Structure 1
Amino acid sequence: MHTVALATAGHLLHFELGIAYEIFGNPPLGSGEWYDVRLCGPGSVRVGPFTVEPDDGLERLASADTVIVPALADVDEEPSPELVSAVRSAYEAGARIASLCTGAFVLGAAGLLDGRRATTHWGHADALAARYPQAVVDPDVLYTDNGNILTAAGKAAAVDLCLHLVHLDHGATVANTVARRLVVPPHRAGGQAQFVATPMPVSGDHTLAELLAWVLQRLDQPLTVTDLARRANTSPRHLGRQFRAVTGQTPLQWLLTQRVRRAQQLLEATDNSIESVATATGLGTATTLRRQFKRVVGIPPNTYRTSFRG
């Protein structure tokens, strides 16, 4: 039986640890042989507001098939040297090592990210890159897979990486069954963006509120900055200053973001062809949609749509 060791020490976040235990510790109906999950640590471990007792000591990691390193609660603290050493030893013994969220800092301290592409929660990516400059940190993806070294971004991305591991071990059908039990998309590609930056809604009494609402009703049209400025009864230059002050983006950047967001909604909820989605979002052609969608979201539209097909 494939052993999954959850490597714990110090103070951890409960979400990622709970996700790993839920996925690897509960076999789907009819799946056959599943995983033997062991919680490993040097003693009692703080997990969010809880205290948990490990099944085994950290020495158990060296005989595990897969080692999962959950999220650390405080990345400003150096990871436990005992934990770092145990994770390194497990890798040298042939284990597959995966970190969830800030668990990547343990892998970095163990030297396992040197020369490898890695990720963590976008809010901690700069700190990871600064502390472990030999790592190739990508703050934009859901997870990375370097064979026996895998890293996940923050929070819900832990679900994606765990499902990816199930997919590798048991195939797509079983992974999709687990996803349906969790009520999540069956598979999101690792290269997908952690998030698409979308400006906060503008309050109803703001000078741009009427214009933005007008634009959102006309995303299928080939609008230009001149069109927007004419509608707002102002100059393109002044409109640009207003947009940057309100949304943090230029008018064209904001417009492209809204077109891609609309495309996401159509890909999720309809069976419309890529050509139809391109037309409905004002992106013109399927080629343009694919290029802009890949640039903003990180994956092609067809791959994104597949994420919402169970």
Structure 2
Amino acid sequence: MDKLWVLFERWHEKSTGWLISLLVFGIFLIPQVKNGWADLGWMNLVIDIAVSFTVYAIWWCSTRVKKHPKNVVGIDLVLVCDTREQEKRVRADFVETLKEVLSNGEVPFSFIMHSKSKAGDIGDLKGASRFMDISGGRFLIKAKAKLRKIDDEERNVVEMVCTVSHSKVQSRVKEFLAEEIANSMRKDDIISHNNDIYQFRNAAERVDVSTRYILALASLVSGDYGFSRSLCIDLKNRLSGRNISDPELIHIKDSLPKFICESYKFETHCLYKRYYENGEESVLKGLNVAVEEALKFVNGARPSIKETT
């Protein structure tokens, strides 16, 4: 099975497509030039080249980057493992649980796990951005599983590098996003080799919450205030009343009210600017609704004067 797994991964490598095309070209060419190059003929050469390109096109179609459906938030995962057994365990214990918790929420998500051969395409920020442009994803996780001995027990350590898609922003905003990603996404999650389901789910839920939070911030700086707010409110409701010990989740929980208020502030400012410039009645109605919702949230998020006295 390990050999089949290696062959499957090799099939997705770029060099495989060219090698198969050259092999097919050679198989067709050798019998035709057996009695000399003079017997080849232009027509036979054109047919050989056409067949080779057809084979390459079939390979390309079978290995191209999968795309997310429209009107959903796309999450891309590239998982790199050393062995087939390791990949099966990490997929069953971590990836499947992550997919499950991502599906539990008000915002629709699409989750695609790509071949590990795609890891070479996302080695830097440009490559990662280009990859997400093709897949239509908003968040990319590159995870590498390593087997390490911790406290006399063999464990899979999943090291994660994350990239989020957003519109062009100022350098200080990029620095802010980078800092928030560092504060909210743990770089590695230790997954035990024994059947400790709680530990697996805890790790997956932490990545799920961090993913939604970072997507909310990216949407906020991109001007999609409604979507950003819906993610933040969903997270706030999910984390409220829970006894949290992870520093990353504590940071997220404490930051959510601030960013919900920021989304209302930016949205009302943009709507007021549009109404001031164009005088559209529909914009004024949207502005009134946004102000009412903002006041409701602020009154609900902060204790009243009677409660504090």
Q: TM-score range by the shorter chain?
A: under 0.3
Larger Rg: 2
Q: TM-score, normalised on structure 1?
A: 0.23
Q: TM-score, normalised on structure 2?
A: 0.23
